[in-house]
Amino acid sequence: MTSFSAKVAEPADKTRQVVFVVYPDIVLLDLVGPLQVFSHARDPETKINGYACAVTSLGGGMIDTNTVVSIPSEPASHYLSKQIHTLIVVGGDGANTVMNDARMLETVNALAAGAKRVCSVCSGALVLAAAGLLNGRRAVTHWDDCKTLESCFPEVTVEVDPIYIQDGNVWTSAGITAGIDMALAVVAEDLGRRSALRVARSMVTHMARAGGQSQFSPVLRRQLLDSTGRFEHLHHWIAENLGRDLRVEELAAQVNMSARNFARLYTGQMGLTPAKAVEAIRIEVAQDLLGTSEKTIKQVAAHCGFNDEERMRRAFMRTLNVSPTDYRRGFRAK
């Protein structure tokens, strides 16, 4: 294992204490992304670093990540009596174990009780939820964990698409790099938008990314809903026949059902109407073409059965909150 030295900044006047909570098998970027944001942020008045950062774990010591790098940490108990401005629980596969660890949950609750703000990155939301800190709140996590968060913690209102959500003094963020977006938003709230923009510029990243994390997960989400594979062939057929008039009667014929019965069964299992499913697949294929092909926007719209650019633009804005042009600009393969 490779490791790096802990450099814990000592709080100065007006410096805000940020405490990260880690555990074995975290996603390294869940930690170092937000950590880098806070380490870059300068107070506009004092011109010094606006935050003092500490990395803690239940017992302290070296913590393995999901990479070859392990990280040093302080015992979380060292911060139970200190004033914490922002508490951040990071994510990773280890969250599935930690969410059932009574000692860890007690520690997170104790730290949160003395914190002005509580945050999670990625699947760290599972830990906050298990500690009861998300009860009655809106929250988001990595799209691959949203279903777990929703099913295990019905008191939490789970939203799949946002990059991050602020509900009162509790912030949750989506998958991995979304922790950077959330940290920049936190800096903007604490130090002002100008300070956050300076950090974003120095890190060569966007202050606020267009669209939500639904841009990255539609196929897997459909597979999860269609766990028995009942409509798998139909979905492949739709993707290969986007130029056809894909009315419900045409779709029903592919699965040997009446239009009425098919529409009822499909909507009940997939959570959206056949028409909305066709539109979603048109958008997925368009996303792929915009990112990987030299086709013009007009050609992509025609290929995917939108017929015209404006109809495709409206579908993108309604579903992804980003235009086809902006999507291509942000995600095209170089």
Give dist(CA 264, CA 281) in Å, integer.
19
pLDDT of residue 284: 87
Backbone angles phi, psi at 97, to 5 degrees: -85, -45
Number of helical H runs and strand E runs in the chain: 15, 11
Q: Is 94 helix (H, G, I), strand (E, B) or coil?
A: coil
pLDDT of residue 12: 46
Between 330 and 273, whose confidence is greater? Answer: 273
Q: What is the pLDDT of residues 56-94, one digit of tens each?
A: 999 999 999 999 999 999 999 999 989 999 999 999 999
Q: Do the beta carbons of residue 61 and residue 27 sit within 8 Å?
A: no
The H-or-E segment that residue 324 falls in is helix 324-331
Q: Judge if pTM exceeds 0.75.
A: no
Q: Is the pLDDT of residue 217 over 60?
A: no
Q: Is the pLDDT of residue 193 over 90?
A: no
Q: What is the pLDDT of residues 122-164, one digit of tens each?
A: 999 999 999 999 999 999 999 889 889 999 999 999 988 788 9
Q: Is the pLDDT of residue 8 over 60?
A: no
Rounded mean pLDDT of 36-55?
90
pLDDT of residue 43: 85
Q: Is 112 helix (H, G, I), strand (E, B) or coil?
A: helix
Q: What is the pLDDT of residues 246-256, one digit of tens each?
A: 999 999 999 99
Q: What is the pLDDT of residues 300-319, one digit of tens each?
A: 999 999 989 999 999 999 98
Beta strands (DSSP E) in the chain are 2-3, 16-21, 51-57, 61-64, 69-75, 84-89, 115-120, 138-139, 157-158, 164-167, 170-173
Q: Do the beta carbons of residue 218 and residue 70 sit within 8 Å?
A: no
Instruction: Tell me the Ramachandran region of residue 268: left when phi exceeds 0, alpha when psi lies from -120 to 50, beta otherwise.
Output: alpha
Give dist(CA 157, CA 167) in Å, integer.
11
Give dist(CA 213, CA 225) in Å, integer.
18
Average pLDDT, the chain: 88
Q: Is the pLDDT of residue 211 over 70?
A: no
What pLDDT band is residue 209 in, cutting at 50, 70 and 90?
low
Q: Do the beta carbons of residue 58 and residue 104 sit within 8 Å?
A: yes
Q: Do the beta carbons of residue 184 and residue 199 sit within 8 Å?
A: yes
Give dist(CA 189, CA 201) in Å, integer.
17
